[in-house]
Amino acid sequence: MTNQTREWVKSSYSGADNGNCVEIAFGEAAVPVRDSKRAGEGPVVAFGREAFGRFLDSVRTA
């Protein structure tokens, strides 16, 4: 699945201007993450599902 054909979602905590957001996509073995300002042209970092879950847990408790 390419960067453009994934269904990307933003956090409900993202502002209304949609300027400085991180987007993620689901439905794969990995969770790809990208910067919304460069959607479709910037780099994508992919986390394994378990690693992404640990990352979210650590952010929530920081």
Q: What is the number of structural domains in the chain?
A: 1
pLDDT at 54: 94
pTM above 0.85, yes or no: no
pLDDT at 58: 93
Q: Are strands 8-10 and 22-25 parallel, antiparallel or unpaired?
A: antiparallel
d(CA 8, CA 20): 15
Q: Is residue 2 part of a domain?
A: no
- Host domain of residue 19: 8-60
Ranges of residues in the chain whose predicted pLDDT is under 70: 1-4, 15-19, 28
Q: Is residue 1 part of a domain?
A: no
Q: Is residue 38 part of a domain?
A: yes
